[in-house]
Structure 1
Amino acid sequence: CLVEGMTNHPDTVSIPLYVDLIDAAKGRVVDSKTIQLTKGFGNGEFKLADTLAGGAYRIRAYTSWMKNFPESEFFHKDFYLFEFEEKEVRKTEKMPEHDFNFFPEGGQLVSGLQSRIAFKASDKLGKGVNVTGAVFNSAGDTVIKFESQHLGMGIFNFTPEKGQKYRARVSFNAIEEKDIAFPDIAEKGYILMTDNFSNPKNLKTFVFRNTVTEPEDMILVAQCRGKVVYSARVQLTKPASAILIPKEELPAGLIKITLLNIQSRPVCERLIYNNLGRSPEVTFNLTQSTYVKRSKTTVEIQVSGPKGEPLAGEFSVAVLDKNQIKDHDDERHIRSYLMLESEVKGYVENPAAYFVAGDPKASVLLDLLLMTQGWRRYSWEQVLNYQEKPYLYPLERGLAISGEITKPNGKNFEKAVNLTMMITKPDSSTQLYFTEAELDGRFEFYGLDVKDSVRVLLQAIAGKNNRNTAIIIGNNDFRQIDLVRIPYRPVTFAAHDLAAYLKFSKEILELERKLRLNKVIFLDEFVVKAKKVDQRLKDRRVLYGQPDASIKVTDNMTGYSNVLEILRGRVAGVQVSGDMFNPSVVIRGIGTLSGSSEPTYILDGTIVDKSLILSIPATDVEYIDVLKGPSAAIYGSRGGNGVISVLTKRGNPDYDWKNDNTPGIKRFGWKGYSVPAEFYVPPYDQEIPGNERPDFRSTVYWNPVVRTDATGKGKFEYFNTDNEATFEIYLEGLVFPGTPVTGRKTYQVK
């Protein structure tokens, strides 16, 4: 699902969504798909070949418009591909490097003002590390001690004294110690602190300043996903001032609180999470609590709002065998991504844990995360000197093919150039498009709705008949890959769990191979004898059988002004006479004269006028077939005078047109929208071949499109496998207009 960043509503503007599969170790794109979105929703898949090396991989998704912004703002999903024979990994690797940072609340420390300082310790993979430490003053005295509370993060109160220089000493996992630089201390300034927990109805915001001469006007602004949701002018009359913001006036999610001076310069900033406690709920209704192997499971879902009101939405559903797929300590889902990960910096460890309903610690720990990875400190110069860059990539309502038309010497034409584009689909059907290039030579065919891999023929004609043009096709691919730190194994397993999983998977594949071999019947050696079949008889352009005569046009047949000149004197019973640029053709039957009228002309299976046949360069022709009498009867009365059938090289489905550089014509292959494969669900209520095979699939069911109607209800069905196990249903998606929803349900198969 593609959502609009400010509202989380489905994005109905962009239609093509580009998805890449990236080998993280090599930094290259392994495969790519273009997904066609309908009202913001679409689906697709990557097939992982068994030749794919084990290691870290990344899925990256983006639209054309998103390419105007840093790649870090694209959607990314990391995963690890395990091999059956896992090797001992990095035994000689040195101890991971540690990173540690202090984050003063609001952005800065000010002399004489008490503040809260958050901190975060992590290894080079971005995962939290337990630490203890202490802050020392200029004299080397211990001012305060601290220790991490959650995933390497912690917080402590601190009041810097004027004239003091501070340093810190940190111990990582009680193994390694480091001296850490302490944040700079401003002599004058402001401190912004928030209290999001003591009052359930109001967000308390405190502003402290250490110079009080006269009242001072400030501006407090709250933004949610880039949209201003609250603003107030605040007059500071005391060293400390409190501002109450009703939580009901703020949307749910991350809120950026910014304090600005009267010149609208940002002074302090803080991220908070406004949890209104109104997440939609999903109820799963199963007909049974326990099922038998291969039994049919019917699941009805009910999605309701905070007041019990039904909610319509669109979701994806997966059913997993929990004996094979274990829960891990880095869980994430659509809610954690849209409401948190997409708006904070860096790798967020186990983001789903911050959204566990009923956990009183979750909100406090989320606030701690926002004080570290959501920390902000403004550079006034960057803000004031900001200049908006031009957007290079457009919003796309469909696929597009673009490029440039020039003269062979690279110069532009003085007049407009007409372009014709023909797209040939896999089923040999075609679509024609027409446009006119701009005076600078640029052109674009936009809004294309094409699926799968197709062949494209582009023809450019300048003026009346000038085909002497050069066509340059634009490169719309986006292959830039930022270097990022990807955890070696983002999913952490216990060693015995991983070994058991790999062993089980290997056994299942071996069983599949044996079953296939058991169905193979080995025959004794035998010899097949048959006449060689003319491959043209399989050509879809040819309706007739074997022609009465045929000429294969070879590369050494040069110097002919047109196709019909090749026939002159080469085929018995075919008389070519008259001017070489406009010859007349008469086909005589065996022993009878069919008349002086000319034959019917066919070009690649289509009846055409002789003038079109004469316009085709002889070098573009592959075969010239001649049909007489009974052979031509398939064309009825049109075949009464015989038939001349011309088959071009480019009309042949097997023609290698990739390197063809005919002036004024460009041919190339092109990928349209990917056609998603349907997830196979074995119908065990039917007796069909294949049902006798053992079924131990780890993913029992997957459906990318499950909808609830206006009553909030939806339904899906599938069959269980041969495993006696715990199965879990996962549901993720959006209720309209744009609230993320997750749900889970387990049941037993015995």
Structure 2
Amino acid sequence: MKKIFLFFLYVVGMSQLNAQDKIDKAIQNLEQNYPQEKVYLLLDKDKYVVGDHIYFKSFVFNGYNRSTISNTLLVELYDHNKNMVDKKTVFLKDGEGDGTFVLNDFLNEDIYFIRAYTTWMANFPEEFNFMKQVPIYNPNSESRLVLDKNIKWTANAFPESGTFIDNIPTKFAVRLYSQGIPPTAWSGYVIDAEKPNEKLAAFKNLDENVATFNITPKAGKTYKAIIEDNKGVKQTINLPAVSSSGINLQLTSDAKGINYKLAGTGLAQGLQGYSIIGTINNQLVYRANIKTTSNEASSNIPNKVSNDETAVLNITIFDEKQNVAAQRLFFVNPKKLNLDEPTLALSMNNEARAFNSFDIEPDGEHSSYTVLVKENNPSEIKNENTLLSAKWLTGDFTSSIFDPSQYFEKTSNPDALDALLISEKWKRYDWEFLLAGKTPEFNYKPQKNLSFKGKVTNNGRFIPNKSINLLLKTEKSENNFVPVVTDDNGFIYLDNIYFDEPLTVSYYFNKDKKQTTDSDNLNISFQALVTSIPYKSALPATNYRLVNDKNVSQDPGIAKGLQNRKNNKGIDDFNKETLIEEVKVTAKKVDKKAELDKELSSGRFSSMNATIFDMVNENKDAQSSQNILQWLQGRAAGLTFTMDNSGNYIPSIRGSQASLFLDEMPVDASMISSLPISTIAMVKVLKNDGLVGNAVAIYTRRGNMVAEEDKNKEKVNKLVLKGYDRSTEFELPDITGEAYKKITNDTRETLYWNPSLSEDGGLAPRAKFFNNDNAKNRQIIIISFDKNDKLLYYSEIVK
């Protein structure tokens, strides 16, 4: 939020809090130490097939504004066994970034998960990391991914403000939880356990997630709720025990603001000494101290506490000893999202494969737009988490909410949203922790751009306080000369550098070439300081499962994706022209690889079925990876990697951990992680073959191992660093090409994707795309922010 209005209450029985009491110090701690980021990724689709690209746009917020804390986002792809399949390092500008995952044919059909976070977020509970399940299908997999539609549900009941007090009328929210699709209709009633045939209150669901009822409890009674869905499935849950004393907080809203009422029972001095604290995004916006000895008090909190914008207000009641007595979350202005909309000229041609375009009228406030056009599938059950629901709901609440997007649509039900918040708790901080004066452990500090730590050795020995010259260059940049001096431990640092293509680092001693001796063997190995942080929790539960039956019926929702894979393969086959000379070159390379294997491998590591990577004559791109294991991700069928607590990649082959060998000697992953790729001659992946079982064998170069094109080059100490990952540009199909004309059923689902559409040569931003063969329902999503961080948002089905 921008500047917050802070309200002190001055009405009968209320007064301002005394400065610098225990609560004051806790609030100061909260405001100074708890800025927290949240992430949302917009994907171009919900389901994918191997061969597809996952295009994503990232938005990072601090509260309800785009974050300025971090400018690096880590985005990782995991399979259901928590093996990291791929990862991207994304540059953030004003809290926004974009990237692409390329799904290679080696991926098994499975449910995968995309995780996104900043290193600053790692100082706080990882449950606030962005996590999204993504089904990926592979027609060549032995197993089939199926959606389990027989999903069980559970329920719970939550009293307003978390208290259930004798003889105080109390509003309850009933919450249904399900891994998959909950029942569309359910209802229930409340009973006294001693009189099960007498219904004290009845309720019907407001949406799939929640229902409400009211009840006035009596001390000593036990209450139960019986819930039944539209298929006759029943569940009985216990309501909380009734307390003989305490307070209850009741909230309502009107045009003037939020009306609250406090009602207590069994309070020796009434509400005297009680305090009311209101926070938004961990910032104080409202506070009052109650002086009355009555058991009741009420007042109004103006909407201006949120600058008249939509926000979640966290109200906490403290007793006279400054202990938490009640808490309640409330949406301020839930129907006033205050969004801009683009001005569009839309006129769609619905002919198959027809060309369409639309312009976004420039307004002087927005310079760049995220634009997605995709086919809408109205038959599929809607369960979406949009940018709106992530910004105001799911980014701050970690429980499973079915179709959270519904709460921010024009037809949304504010009563259902209020009931949902009654059932939630603000977990961004803990009052007991704050009141004790504790602060989070900040193990990760935000760093601008990328930073690297370099270990410098000469003849294998550290060389402290030594001058080294570095020459930095990318393909498109000029040489950048950087003199550095090793520290007392022999390390150098590259801080705050930005590059999104391989960075070649040449290095040499700061002395004349004539002074260089044959005994000098300078080596630098860099470690990225902005890197992945292992995910310690279990992955979220899912209603997808794998079955070992290739004949099981395929998810109908993926039929178009499978057809599109066939179409792309047909286009590739049509366009392939293999020249005789290319065949000769390929054959020559195979011979070189065989010669290299023969020279390096012993009989124990011999195998006809091994996957071999020649690092001398091929695979020059490996130099841009941090280490060889990172580079191997996704390059050999069945080979996957997990990350241990030290950030080392641990290989597995078809689910079983693989052994690691360096020059045929067993080693651990940490040794391989620090091994410069430039020293590696060959990598051999053995799959339960040879005499070593599942293994990854790495062989270092011998003195004579130099590629033909490098033999006449002067020896230079150099390495290559990998920086930010560039996204892959979305390409429109060549609609006029002969290969495309052979396609009989065009089933493309993503018709247009541009994460940063802007004016071109003074012309209005224009989105251009071709229909598929059945694109009569297109969803168009447009997102942008102005200079004041006001959100422009458009999501409509255009026919």
Provide the residue aligned with 1:400 in structure 2: 451
Instruction: Indicate whether 1:719 and 2:769 are aligned.
Output: yes
Residue type of the partner of 1:385?
Answer: A
Q: Establish whether residue 388 from structure 1 lines up as the match of residue 447 from structure 2.
A: no
CA displacement 1:145-182 (0-9 Å, x = unmatched): 44451224222222232233445555566655555343
Report the residue type matching 2:274 in the other structure: M
Query: Could you tell which deviates more after superposition, 364-373 or 226-235?
Result: 226-235
Q: Which residue of 1 aligns with 2:291?
A: 235
What do the CA deviations read for 1:253-292 (whole angstroms, capped 9, x no partner)? 2121222345544322111111252532424533635454
User: Does 2:498 correspond to 1:444?
Assistant: no
1:63 maps to what in 2? 118
User: Counterpart amino acid of 1:334?
Assistant: L
Q: Return 5+ residue gaps in structure 2 as ranges.
A: 1-56, 546-551, 590-678, 680-702
Cα drift, residue 731 of structure 1: 1.7
- Give the 3-state SS of the residue equivalent to 1:717 in structure 2: strand
SS of 2:220's equivalent?
coil
The answer to whether structure 1 residue 254 and structure 2 residue 316 are counterparts is no
Q: Deviation of residue 401 (structure 1)?
A: 0.8
- Partner of residue 338, structure 2: 279
Deviations along 1:626-657, one digit per CA (max 9) or x if unpaired, are xxxxxxxxxxxxxxxxxxxxxx989969879x
- 1:732/1:165 Cα in 2 relative to 1: closer, same or farther (>3 Å)? same
The corresponding residue for 1:300 is 359
CA displacement 1:672-731 (0-9 Å, x = unmatched): 1112221113576xx77767564542211111113589x9x9531313235253133222
After TM superposition, give the deviation of residue 51 of structure 1 in Å.
3.0
Deviations, residues 716-749 of structure 1 (Å, cap 9, x unaligned): 131323525313322234344233443134445x
Per the alignment, residue 354 of structure 1 pairs with 407
Aligned partners of 2:285 and 2:475: how far apart in 1? 51
Counterparts of 2:796 and 2:346, CA distance in 1? 13
- Give me the whole-angstrom Cα distance separating, in 2, the residues matched to 1:700 and 1:725: 9
Q: Tell me if structure 2 keeps the 8 A contact 1:169–1:177.
A: yes
Instruction: Please report how far the alpha carbon of residue 400 of structure 1 lies from its aligned counterpart in structure 2 after TM superposition.
Output: 1.0
| Partner Cα distance (2:428, 2:492) in 1 | 45
Alpha-carbon separation, structure 1, partners of 2:322 and 2:491: 43
Question: Does 2:72 match 1:19?
Answer: no
Q: Indicate if the aligned counterparts of 1:137 and 1:143 stay in contact, CA closer than 8 A.
A: no
Larger Rg: 1
- Alignment-mate amino acid for residue 188 of structure 1: S
Gap change, CA 1:406 and 1:326, over 3 Å in 2: farther
Partner of 1:678: 729
CA–CA distance in structure 2, aligned partners of residues 379 and 702 of structure 1 = 41
Q: Map residues 141-540 of structure 1 onto 2, 5 A cutoff.
A: 142=198, 144-149=200-205, 150-171=207-228, 177-196=234-253, 199-210=254-265, 211=267, 213=269, 216-250=272-306, 251-261=309-319, 264-275=322-333, 277-286=336-345, 288-290=347-349, 292-301=351-360, 311-312=365-366, 314-322=368-376, 328-357=381-410, 359=411, 362-374=413-425, 381-385=432-436, 387-402=438-453, 416-423=465-472, 425=474, 431-439=480-488, 443-454=492-503, 456=505, 473-474=526-527, 476-489=531-544, 501-517=557-573
What amino acid is the match of 2:318? L
2:111 and 2:145 in contact (8 A); partners too: no
The answer to whether 1:110 aligns with 2:169 is no
Summarize the alignment of residues 653-692 of structure 1 with structure 2, pairs less than 5 Å apart. 670-682=721-733, 692=741
Distance 1:515 1:679 in 2: 17
Return the TM-score normalized by structure 1. Answer: 0.68
- SS of equivalent residue, structure 1 residue 339: helix
Of residues 72, 82, 85, the one that matches 1:30 is: 85
Aligned residues between the structures = 604
Counterparts in 2 of 1:693 and 1:9: CA distance versus 1, 3 Å: farther
SS in 2 for 1:338: helix
How far apart are 1:73 and its partner, in Å? 1.6
Q: Tell me: CA distance 1:342–1:379, structure 2 relative to 1, closer, same or farther (3 Å).
A: closer
Q: Distance in 2 between matches of 1:16 and 1:71?
A: 17
Letter in 1 for 2:366: A
Specify whether residues 292 and 212 from structure 1 end up closer, same or farther in structure 2 by C-alpha distance, changes over 3 A only: same
CA distance in 2, matches of 1:336, 1:354: 7
% identical equivalent positions: 19
Deviations 1:482-508 (A, max 9, x none): 213233259xxxxx9975554444444
- Contact 1:116/1:157 (8 A) holds in 2: yes
Shift of 1:106: 0.8
CA distance in 2, matches of 1:652, 1:428: 26
Question: What per-residue deviation string (whole Å, max 9, x for no partner) do you get for residues 561-581 of structure 1?
Answer: xxxxxxxxxxxxxxxxxxxxx
Q: Does the Cα contact within 8 Å between 2:561 and 2:747 map onto a contact in 1?
A: no
Q: Deviations over 1:345-403 (max 9, x none)?
A: 3122101111111x2x5211111111113478998654533522331222121111125
Which SS does the other structure have where 1:46 is aligned?
Answer: strand
Query: Helix, strand or coil: the match of 2:413?
Result: helix
- Shifted more, 432-441 versus 311-320: the winner is 432-441
Give yes or no for contact 2:149–2:180 (8 Å, CA) kept in 1.
no
**Residue 515 of structure 1: how far off its partner (Å):** 4.9
Q: Which amino acid in 2 is paired with 1:299? A: F
Q: Which residue of 2 aligns with 1:625?
A: none
Q: Residues 401 and 88 from structure 1, CA distance in 2 versus in 1: closer, same or farther, beyond 3 angstroms?
A: closer
